[in-house]
Structure 1
């Protein structure tokens, strides 16, 4: 099988990363990315110099719809929900890397993103594309909603614990998440420029990040009930990567039976056979509360890859499980997971085009 691919929104970080990864995909024949203002692709993405890729307009991509197998949307919120129906009606599958199809309820979407959904009839069929959790649904989907970068990292980190029934969900899940400056997008913003951001932390959206409701929506089926996620976010002093640290209360009656060893076993069993999720299960060698850095995931181990690394521990005094999850916001958090979903949608090896490890 050879695939012919369109990318609506090829000028941003996610669109450029899709181009980079798809160029090395064994089943991809054609890549057609779009831009609005006549930009030259190799000037926008100089790492792709010599690739031969050229931007076209959205209108030109639509004219070629009959040639395409799948279209990725790497656009600001609001565009995919207006443009995706054109391709779906012509038998082209769609993977939306934006937020437009992440909520099944149009009212929830409007409350979070501040405008009515333009294609509410498509929401019931959109599959939330965390491949590790929804593989069977992704395989038969024509429309996949790729998760947000914070959301996919946090869901993968929390899924085994919530599914186990150990969590006390009458208590909010506390989640602190740090994103690289690339998560701010490709448009120049003074505060995120190197001269301003270097050596600093940039907290933002403390009144409530949009990925918070996304997390609550997609964690609830795992937990079997509604839950509250108290989420704080910041940009860190690095370009790529997502660092998530969560604290989850354990039910009082279950605390005596919880320790790090049991939690690691729980996580390893949950993700057994999952290529792109790895659990840091290194044994501790020091005394209680000593500084053992290597037993938890490090962000630099996943940068440039489609892997998500997880770590877990338990505070027996306070009764909280501590979860650490790290991923690359542009790969597992965007382009890589989108390709992983595409592979499943077309019956390909899920790892195709994504076999590289971290930098």
Structure 2
């Protein structure tokens, strides 16, 4: 049986990636693509790279008169899923939400970063945080998944094996330096994503805190000691279109050489298809267009340096959401996601 998938918010970058990946999925197909701003337009008018691959036309909304989809991906702006998800779940339709609406468990943390929580926040307990490499068994059989943020994915994958160990020095700040490309800002242009400003520019942003920090703290705390208040997290914009590169500087309780660190990460990720351990530093160019996260480690002295590179629109968004869908429905986890990168 082929899964029927609907994409709400299909005209954005993440929505376009969902459509691209589902068009090549052997056991799922996109049957409805929703975009209020592009309703009535063929998909190829927005996603020219998908011309001749689909005849779908953007719809204004899901119709209750059409056959129900087996799964709905919500790829709209933050706040939209709070309205859209509850009615779908009440109809028994599984949901994978790519926004931040249902990622955080703690209400005070949500309100600190996103404003007053609407009544639908009460449904948060139905959602599983969709990072498969850490929470696969929770995702399996779930009917509602909150897909992680791109920065959060890179940072959590970088630090989780250490956080589970007894090697992280207590009460010492952990520095996390993350860099992203312009596509992470979404399809709507802004002064900082406008090409004349962005091309050739490299700058820090989110100086008063980034919304993905509480995701990182909650996830690490669920696999090890409390992480709240332990992380110094700084994001940067680079002259890239796709890609996230994260460096975590983790103080340790004792000196650890690179070989020992490598062994720790081999134990954690050696059987994970979508995590590739590399010698030295990973490179965002090697993961572009793929669902891989490449991880490198360096020891020596009392500090571990861990590096993660991933594509913010694939492993950081659409690919990871489809990976979660595969797990939810008992499909092979790699189905539709064995994507080759493009080089050079």
The answer, yes or no, to whether TM exceeds 0.5 is yes
Structure 1 residue corresponding to 2:294, chosen from 303, 309, 313: 309
Q: State the Cα RMSD in Å.
A: 1.4
Shift of 1:185: 0.8
Aligned pairs for 1:1-359 (under 5 A) are 1-37=1-37, 38=39, 39-50=41-52, 51-58=54-61, 61-64=62-65, 66-227=67-228, 228-251=230-253, 254-255=254-255, 258-280=256-278, 282=279, 295-316=280-301, 319-359=302-342
**1: CA distance, partners of 2:118 / 2:104:** 10
**Segment of structure 1 superposing worse, 24-33 or 336-345:** 24-33
Moved over 4 A (4+): none
Question: Any conservation in 2 of the 1:106–1:123 contact (CA below 8 Å)?
Answer: no
Q: Does the 8 Å CA contact 2:42/2:55 hold for their aligned counterparts?
A: no
What TM-score do the two structures reach when normalised by structure 1? 0.91
Residue 335 of structure 1 deviates from its aligned partner by 0.1
Rounded to whole Å, the distance in 2 between the matches of 1:5 and 1:88 is 15
d(CA) in 2 for partners of 1:65 and 1:141?
24
Q: For structure 1, which runs of at least 5 residues remain unmatched after alignment?
A: 283-294
SS in 2 for 1:190: coil
Q: Over residues 168-211 of structure 1, what are the superposed CA-to-partner deviations in whole Å (9 max), with x where a residue is unaligned?
A: 13112101101110011111123322222111113211110001
CA distance in 2, matches of 1:78, 1:113: 9
Write the distance in 2 (CA, Å) between the matches of 1:171 and 1:32.
49
What are structure 2's unaligned runs of at least 5 residues? none
TM-score, structure 2 as length reference? 0.95
Q: Distance in 1 between matches of 2:42 and 2:188?
A: 17
Q: Deviation per CA, 1:29-85: give whole Å up to 9, x if none.
A: 343111113344211111111221211112xx1425752110011111111011101
